[in-house]
Amino acid sequence: MIEWRFCGRFSQNVQDAFPEDTGLSWIDEAEARRRYHDPAKELTVVPEEDATTGIVPWFITVTTKEFPSFTVTYQQPPGVPSVRVWWKDLEDGRLFAHRTELWDYPTEHNPIVRLRQSDALMHFVTRNKEDGTGRLTIHEKGSTRVTTADRKFDAALLYAPVPEWGQWDQLASRPVPGQ
């Protein structure tokens, strides 16, 4: 069973909630439940950190509203995003993986200098439509050109049920759409 932590906004850089004075720090479950459907509030759901790496393997940013959407951000050491999936709520009990981002980092880097998101060699973005069409965009580091391609896929693979409260790991454990 996952021990969930809740905050307004999670910082990948420091692997912690934003500071107390921002109003985005750690909150208890009762406050998280209050924020869940309030479009004026921010909410991030955070599992326990990995004991080996000291980072949170993934976290979920909740787009708070009547029908919340979810953005799952998977991380790799030292706390940079490797994949981000936006699950749009279709307001019928289902989510659709509308957008997926993947970052490809160098396999070797200077261990003294912290790896940053901007160090990614490539950044892939898929924008998916429910009709099974979409667009892939590839940004290569050091290039001013952007590669784009239209794509077709089995849209059925990009749907998921809206998770019940506390069952967010079901989203994080799904295969990453577009990979």
| pLDDT tens-digit series, residues 95-138 | 999 999 999 998 877 666 777 888 889 999 999 999 999 999 99
Total domains in the fold of the chain: 1
Share of the chain above pLDDT 70, in %: 96
pLDDT at residue 36, as a whole number: 94
121 occurs within a structural domain? yes
- Residue 178 confidence class, pLDDT cut points 50, 70, 90: low
Global pTM reads: 0.90
SS (H, E, C) 69-119: EEEEEEEECCCEEEEEEEEEECCCCEEEEEEEEEEECCCCCCCCCCCCHHH
Residue 178 belongs to some domain of the structure? no
For the chain, the C-alpha Rg in angstroms (whole number) is: 17
Q: Is the pLDDT of residue 13 over 90?
A: no
The answer to the question of residue 115 being in a domain is yes
Categorize the per-residue pLDDT at 162 as very low, low, confident or very high, splitting at 50, 70 and 90.
Answer: very high
Residues for the chain: how many in total? Answer: 179
Half-sphere exposure (Cβ direction) of 121: Cα atoms closer than 13 Å: 6
Asked if the structure places residue 108 within a domain, the reply is yes
Asked if 97 and 132 count as a contact pair (C-beta separation under 8 A), the reply is no
pLDDT on residue 111: 66
Proportion of the chain above pLDDT 90, given as a percent: 68
- Domain-located, residue 44: yes
Q: Which domain holds residue 10?
A: 5-172
Asked whether the beta carbons of 100 and 128 are under 8 A apart, the reply is yes
